[in-house]
Amino acid sequence: MPQKIALLGSTGSIGTQALDVISRYPDDFKAGILTAGENVDLLISQARKFLPDSVVIGNKDHYKKLRDNLKDTSIKVYAGNEAIEQVITDSDANVVLAAIVGYSGLRPVIAAIKAGKKIALANKETLVVAGEIISNLVRETGSSIIPVDSEHSAIFQCLIGEDRNSVEHITLTASGGPFLNMPYEKLEKVSPKDALKHPNWNMGDKVTIDSATLMNKGLEVIEAKWLFNLVPEQIKVTVHPQSIIHSFVHFKDGSVKAQLGMPDMRLPILFALSHPHRFSSELPRLDFRKYPVFTFAEPDLKKFRNLYLAYKALNMGGNMPCILNAANETAVKAFLSGEIGFMEMPDVVEYALEKNSYIASPELESLEISDSKARETAIDFINKLKNRK
């Protein structure tokens, strides 16, 4: 019997690529649950193609359209964020692929962990915001997390068969985004359209902007702490513009392991779904003749201040990563809508970190309050920036 996959966020970049992977292995995988936030038209199309057991649309305003367009099928139709959690809890899905972008993906992942599901985690904000809570839940329930981010998948693969205590440190690679070689003084003028032109990866808008500011790498640094039980000093970042080496593990004896592959998210998606096995695939192969040179550089923390702020939040701990994430989500939204400039996004994040109260060991309810207050603080600062113009 094929493994049933519950795909949270099926209409996003990771979700659509995951469905491409699932379609290639009909004897091994079945899309059992599909969920989306707003894109009801694509969800309808996906549901009619993959015929899952259930579909859920987060925005209840789209429920009638979803139900009416699927009424000639046996697919169960639900709406609302609470319904996503309930459907996951009650389902017989073997694997939950968490691909909802942002803070909104946290509660569905918690529900899946409590249900003892295997988690293929593409939502990095889950561990950024609530790493300690998630880690404790995984231990209590016997659930497991297989990372889908290409960098964390690389680290995970390099650690298979290794003693975790033998790790000296890890190095996450970063492409540097579209502005790697742009002079600092020109960054103030870049537009959302410019920032959405990633040189290597095909990603959604929010993740692409995060990549352009290196906040994406900052969030990955925080996520790596919880995934691999590391301290901040053990997590390093290097800029690798070719995006072929996806990360390194450095061992105490001086040895280094790396995982290489084409910059194609279907590779780590397939690995996460098929683990502990490796399936044959027709995905693009790495031809070293086309990549005769690999280059590496230290990230410029003046140009990419968000990476510095992410390390700051990680070192502070508590609810600070939650505040960092909430402020960043708010700042990215404001940048994409033309309210603030590219270089003002880290200003928003830094302001939120400074103005919100620190909680050393937050419970989930405290994190929800921190998230809400950080967004309010960020919006207030964004309005101040707009009024200055």
Closest CA to 112 of 137, 129, 79: 137
Q: Are strands 76-79 and 54-57 parallel, antiparallel or unpaired?
A: parallel
User: CA 314 → CA 106, 153, 165, 174, 288, distances in Å?
Assistant: 18, 21, 21, 18, 36
Beta strands in 243-373 (DSSP E): 245-251, 256-260
Predicted confidence band at 388 (pLDDT cuts at 50, 70, 90)? Answer: confident
pLDDT tens digits, residue range 199-238?
A: 777 678 998 999 999 999 999 999 999 999 999 999 999 9
Predicted pLDDT at 378 = 98
pLDDT tens digits, residue range 308-362?
A: 999 999 999 999 999 999 999 999 999 999 999 999 999 999 999 999 999 999 9
User: CA 55 → CA 1, 101, 227, distances in Å?
Assistant: 21, 18, 29
- Asked if the structure places residue 143 within a domain, the reply is yes
pLDDT tens digits, residue range 267-308?
A: 999 999 999 999 999 999 999 999 999 999 999 999 999 999
- Asked if the structure places residue 384 within a domain, the reply is no
What's the mean per-residue pLDDT of the chain? 96
What pTM value is reported for the model?
A: 0.94
Q: Please check the confidence at residue 153 and state whether its pLDDT lies above 70.
A: yes
Q: How far apart are CA 215 and CA 312, in angstroms?
A: 12
Predicted pLDDT at 389 = 67
- Asked if the structure places residue 253 within a domain, the reply is no
- Asked if the structure places residue 11 within a domain, the reply is yes
Predicted pLDDT at 104 = 85
Q: CATH no. for residue 19? A: 3.40.50.720
Q: How far apart are CA 158 and CA 358, in angstroms?
A: 35
Q: Which residues contact 376 (CB under 8 A, 6 or more apart)?
A: none
Residue range of the domain that includes 73: 3-147
Local structure of 383: helix, strand or coil: helix
Count of structural domains, the chain: 1
Q: Which residues contact 71 (CB under 8 A, 6 or more apart)?
A: none
Q: Are strands 76-79 and 95-98 parallel, antiparallel or unpaired?
A: unpaired
- Asked if the structure places residue 360 within a domain, the reply is no
Local structure of 368: helix, strand or coil: helix
User: CA 312 → CA 209, 222, 297, 321, 363, distances in Å?
Assistant: 20, 10, 21, 9, 21
Q: How far apart are CA 124 and CA 112, in angstroms?
A: 15
- Asked if the structure places residue 172 within a domain, the reply is no
- Asked if the structure places residue 310 within a domain, the reply is no
Q: Which residues contact 260 (CB under 8 A, 6 or more apart)?
A: 244, 245, 246, 286
Q: Which residues contact 18 (CB under 8 A, 6 or more apart)?
A: 5, 7, 10, 97, 99, 269, 273
Phi and psi, residue 295, nearest 5°: -120, 155
- Asked if the structure places residue 285 within a domain, the reply is no
Q: What is the dihedral of CA 206, 298, 243, 168, to 10 degrees?
A: -100
